Structure 1
Amino acid sequence: MIQSTGVTHTDKSAQENPVKYRDNFTPVIITGMSGAGLSTAARVLEDLGWYVAHNIPPQIILEFIDMCAREDSPVDKVAVVCDVRSREFRGSLTQVVSELRDKQLDPTVLFLEARDEVLIKRFDNVRRTHPLQGSQTLQVGIERERTVLSPVKEDASVVIDTSDLSVHDLRRAIESSFRTIATRTQHVTIESFGFKHGSPRDADFVVDVRFLPNPFWVPELRPFRGVDKPVSDYVLSQKGAEEFLNNFVDMLKDMLPGYRHEGKNFITIGVGCTGGHHRSVAVSEELAKRIADQTTLDVSVVHRDINRH
């Protein structure tokens, strides 16, 4: 018996000749909040060589990915965009992901989100209504969507908060996360930020480096940033910096087997200071260098607030 998307039938030839899937085939499912950048994410993956199918109903995703994964398929990388407009979105998409995992076609689910006020501004700028607001307000539509998508986000492989990202920032974030996806290498993104602009909501854990002296109060260092050698040398030479870096790398190495066992191949670490210009930037750069040297992880760095005032 072969079961697919709720339809059951007998196929003797399929039993005698089991389906063969290509090695390292990793489908991507792009989903998330309306207005959070799903279309941009799709274009980025298209530019990276993915065949992207837009707004396929969840019931069809399983069959589509199964077809693309076969050894004789001309498509080697596939992504599908599935948003809240699809019927029975919540139950259907989570079921599809579960069934793909049962087939050893474990998908990477990319979930994009943004703060309510940012989504409202984006909808206002393009003069669109939210697909779930009906005759009520835009805020009501956003709240309904968050409720519907909550379990999907909870199980997502990669969550990116686009609230403070430009289109170019989002492109870089996606490119850094997905360039090694076919090898199933664990990927770590280290994101520096300023607490005065808010903590990154998509970080798996956040560290605070405000225990280090602030180069902002050193007149000759103030114009520079943490990527500049004078600031980097100053920050990393402070008491406690070396101990923090060593202890953090050791802690992460102890955590990696557990992350891998749980199927978590994308890890985001937020490193914060006051403004996101000096300490967090310098520490993030050094942390990325040490993690890359001492592990087999693919590591990238994003400086969210380096140019913000």
Structure 2
Amino acid sequence: MTHEGTPTAEAAPPEVTGSQDPNADTRSANVHRTGDGGRQRVVLVTGMSGAGRSTTLKALEDVGYEAIDNLPLHLVATIVHEGGLDAPVAIGVDIRTRNFAVQPFMDALQRLESDPTLAVTLLFVDCEEEVLRRRFTETRRRHPLAQGRPLTDGIAAERRLVAPLRKRADITIDTSTLSTQDLRRVISAQLGLEEAQGMAVFVTSFSYKNGLPREADLVFDVRFLRNPHYDPQLKPLTGRDQAVADYVAADPDFAPFFGGLVRLLKRLLPRYEREGKSYLTIAIGCTGGRHRSVALAEKLAGKLKSVGRSVTLNHRELGVGGDSEDPNSPAAGKIG
């Protein structure tokens, strides 16, 4: 559910508590070979070309999975049953895989799911078309279905082809705004590998001019705060600069709003966790996505971290995260 607007607030922000599980400090979050009931964990990774399937496999490898890419469909069952695996396995399959076709893939998936010794998950990685086009253009790679025709036609053809897989998927991840670090955390949260840390929280700032983040669970509109854009000295800066943060915080409405937001999240986050939600995205928007929303997102992320929450911060319009450098830099990693 998406919520917009200004919550009723108190001037002094109350505490937002972390996980209340008394066993959280001792429970291991390490990945194990077996899933529920001692079954072998198997994750089949598919999705749109350029959406980050290979990056997803690498992320799974980083958290303990044995990753195998482009395995022919007829060998999947053989690897799972006779491979002598001592770790959970992630297998990448897409339209470039030899002899790939949707129906045989669905048939192979059904056979694996019917095996009582396996815990099978189908993970589909997706991405907005504009981002896919940019990734293919920047890397100068050819789309596998765009031979002799425009890139947009190839992307559209693939989307039609894999639509049944997306519909059938147990987990769908949109990588449009994720760095590799963000993707790793989303995967860990979705597969239940971060139990000790509780629900993963993603805080993102954005511009209303460019639309709402598709992944947002909660949306807050901070356009009612005074705008640093109209101050000549602050206009070229962002909400990550202290001068802008101070300017925004000096608005008389800031403290009541922020206090109410923290109070609201104090009530909501434990309830989302009790419902089994593994990650939550909080989006904060303003007109340009550079000043007010960024300052609020920075402050909120800091508040949540201070009480032990697992938080990833992203500023969509700035192209950076608060916990790393530019997501396209070698340090943060690039999807696609």
Q: What interval of TM-score do these two structures reach, taking the shorter chain for normalisation?
A: 0.5 to 0.7
| Other structure's SS at 1:227 match | coil
Q: Which residue does the alignment assign to 1:36?
A: 51
Contact 1:30–1:111, Cα closer than 8 Å, also in 2? yes
Unmatched tracts of structure 2, length 5 or more? 1-32, 321-336
Counterparts of 1:1-309 in structure 2, within 5 Å, are 21=34, 28-47=43-62, 50-56=65-71, 73-75=85-87, 78-85=89-96, 86-88=100-102, 91-92=106-107, 95=110, 105=119, 107=121, 109=123, 111-115=125-129, 117-123=130-136, 126=140, 128-131=142-145, 138-150=151-163, 152-153=165-166, 157=171, 159-162=173-176, 170-178=179-187, 182-184=193-195, 185-252=198-265, 254-256=267-269, 259-260=272-273, 263-293=276-306, 297-306=309-318
Q: Percent identity?
A: 32
Distance across 2 between alignment mates of 1:143 and 1:82: 19
The RMSD of aligned alpha carbons is 4.2
| Structure with more relative contact order (C-alpha pairs < 8 Å, separation 6 or more) | 2
Equivalenced residues, count: 276
Distance change >3 Å, CA 223–CA 112, structure 1 → 2: same
Distance change >3 Å, CA 259–CA 307, structure 1 → 2: closer
Distance change >3 Å, CA 209–CA 55, structure 1 → 2: farther
Distance across 2 between alignment mates of 1:263 and 1:93: 29
Distance change >3 Å, CA 183–CA 201, structure 1 → 2: closer
Distance across 1 between alignment mates of 2:73 and 2:259: 45
Q: CA deviation at 1:282?
A: 1.2
Contact 1:36–1:119, Cα closer than 8 Å, also in 2? yes
Q: CA deviation at 1:213?
A: 1.3
Contact 1:157–1:265, Cα closer than 8 Å, also in 2? no
Distance across 1 between alignment mates of 2:35 and 2:95: 31
TM-score normalised per structure 2 = 0.63
TM-score normalised per structure 1 = 0.67
Contact 2:216–2:282, Cα closer than 8 Å, also in 1? yes
Q: CA deviation at 1:258?
A: 6.2
Q: Which residue does the alignment assign to 2:7?
A: none
Tell me the alpha carbon deviations over residues 163-200 of structure 1, each in whole angstroms, 9 at most, x when there is no partner: xx5xxx62232244346652333211112223344433
Q: CA deviation at 1:271?
A: 1.9
